[in-house]
Structure 1
Amino acid sequence: MTERTERASVLASLRHRSFRNLVFGRTLTHWANSMAPIALAFAVLDMTGSAVDVGIVVGSRSVANVLLVLFGGVLADWVPRALILQGSSLSAATVQAAVAVVLLTDSASLGVLILLSVVNGAVAAVSMPASASLVPQTVPAGELRAANALSRMGVNTGMIVGASFGGMITSVFGPGWGMAANAVVFAAAALAYHGVRVPRTKRAPGAPSQPLRELREGWTEFTARTWVWVVVLQFFVVNAVAAGGIQVLGPTIANSTYGRTAWGLVLATQMAGALIGGFLVGRSRSRHALRIGVAVVALDALPLIALAETAPLALLVLAMFVNGLALEQFGVAWDVSLQENVPPDRLARVYSYDMLGSILALPVGEMSAGVLAERFGSRATLLGGVCLVVSVTVAALCSKDVRSLTVRAGHADAEAPGATAAGAASGTAAPTEPTRDPAG
């Protein structure tokens, strides 16, 4: 296959209108989500000058995520997912506009910002499972791997642009205008999601309608597949280590060595690696994608080693770039594995349990990293994290279910667009539409 043909196959999914709109909407959503913490943090610092207050305001969003992400999974398996994304984006735009108003009119208080941050976190929690589980409804099964790679490339692009744009507009015009711009981007995302037209997911006959029963059913699906909960446990540890090592100890070390500007370059390089990784994995034809993806997660240790040893900046940048490549390899393999093997009417709930594990890991890592660094030193704490990442990756690979799971044949040779991957996995006919605009 020539390079031009391979590139065309990676981009082929963009011919589906609903998928294009979904990718555009997700890109804008992550653009907005990357802008908001920057503007909000500077707003709090302008008000109180307290890093503790910044943590309370930003952390309140994560608390709402944890409390409501499972409900979001239930909702996304009952309500049309595109409709959820439209509504959540409009709600987020409204909340961020309210934050902008109170900041620009000098009427903001810490309590108001905490309240609005909680509301914003609740909106995000409801939308996350819907966003993740919508892809299989917008593309044929044979294009699922490339479609997930493209979708994640859009997400990474949005994060890079959002962080850069958020920092620029906040420093030049102030946090209030930063939040106003944030509201506009969320509103644009809602318009993009309005163009996602897919049939509703078909429910199994006699499916329960009570939230607690829905959650139990989702938990049954989650625990029934050993490879699912093994990998989620692996990433609970990996995410906790990364949150503490990169988000807490990283800036602390950089502040006294590399400098703040250089640290921004380091983080951007990781996202650049993820962008390129998304393109490469979209061209991959490996049938053991999950096994490879789980294995390369061990490369998450490279930036931790570089920070622990205060390596030259060029080596740290290279480590973060490779880390970005590796995580994107895993990310696409994980999405495809879930979408192929979990019934479509339960997929969002399984995603919600996966997301809950990831969200819970973040405060664990962030809160413990500083305490451990004070007790044992940053170097020992980071190298301890390296041991945890490698050990938990080896443990995950000891699972036969993880090693043996394969990508369905339709992803090596494109299938006719008659069924989505998730539908094939569940043994049910997947919904189709006349314009052949399924999922993302």
Structure 2
Amino acid sequence: MDAPGNIAWGVTATALVLLMTPGVAFFYGGLVKAKSVVSMMMMSFGALGLVSVLWILYGFNMSAVESTWAFAGNPFSDFALSGLATGESANVDLIGVAFGATFAIITVALISGAIADRAKFGSWMIFAGLFATLVYFPVAAWVWGGGWVYNLGETMFGAESGVAVIDYAGGTAVHINAGAAALALALVLGKRIGFQKGILKPHNVPLTLLGAALLWFGWFGFNAGAEWWAEDMGGVGLIALNTLGATAASVIGWITIEKIKDGKPTSVGAASGAVAGLVAITPACANLTPGWALLLGVLTGAVCALAIELKFKLGFDDSLDVVGIHLVGGLIGTIYLGFFAIDTGLFLGGGPEQLIVQVIAAVGVLIYSFVVAFVLGFVIEKTMGFRIKNEDELAGVDTVVHGEEGYLLEERV
């Protein structure tokens, strides 16, 4: 991992994943009303600033544990990483810290799409800091840092089974985590004024397509980035191809359902399908052959295109379909591995063990994230207030909260 090529890819991948958070800002920003685009994008940039600082101060310390059932690492074990920065392997270690930070940032930023048009920025920032500390940092330890998810296969079936939860790049830690929290906040903040199907249209479709393009571009670092730790980077080819293929197939799946259901395939649907495919392939990118990755993509695109309608039937206002895309897509990608993972999937030579551990990990993270996010959101709403006033929502979040407008269409004298 300390070869110049590996180090170069580590830095490049970190930059690619960091770019994904502005990509989320553009994707979400285009989907909201013109008078709340600044607010929407600021929640992503706010998360980028705050979570980066917290990760360096203590989050990285919390992201690895010494025993299977530990909640998280000691946040003060190397506060602000002064020890790590002066160690013999600091050059490599600090790239790993930066790479890990980008995952923490985007997980928090994704949640904001569920509360578009109606959230106070200060309250969002408090939630973001608390959620990162109490949920993302510990969950990262569970999944990748030696915690209970990491060791679930050995705990249940013994070390000789060779079974382990597969979550290469964040199906549970990022997407199920963010999607469950998004559902919790949507319930806490309630519905937007005038919430009903068809009434709230994207204000800038090209902005959304730009965001989706940046996400797809950055996702090659998201999925293939961790290969910089491997001496020969032997899995990067399969990961890169699956990231392309599953995403492309998901676009086809989504717009096909749109055509059947509504009569027209839309560009927003294509962009949403791409994101859904990226979500689903995230945990599975290194453990599916390309054909099964294509099937995962088309299946995810179709199911998520249907899943986004649930909010109207169930009566919760997930503004930008974080639940329908990230929670549902993350669940599909994680559980799909139980059937089709190379060598261990139920249909590819394995037994039910892989499916069992995938489901337990997914459900465990989902429940924990939802409960903690709901409690945090509820407490913030009942104390300082999380949702803006109705009259401010009608006037526009941007001018009320930030004193800015996304578009100045005429000069004011």
Higher helix share: 1
Q: Give your verdict on TM over 0.5.
A: no
Bin for the TM-score computed over the shorter chain? 0.3 to 0.5
Question: Taking CA–CA contacts closer than 8 Å with sequence separation of 6 or more, which of the two structures ends up with the larger relative contact order?
Answer: 1
Normalised to the residue count of structure 2, the TM-score between the two structures is 0.33
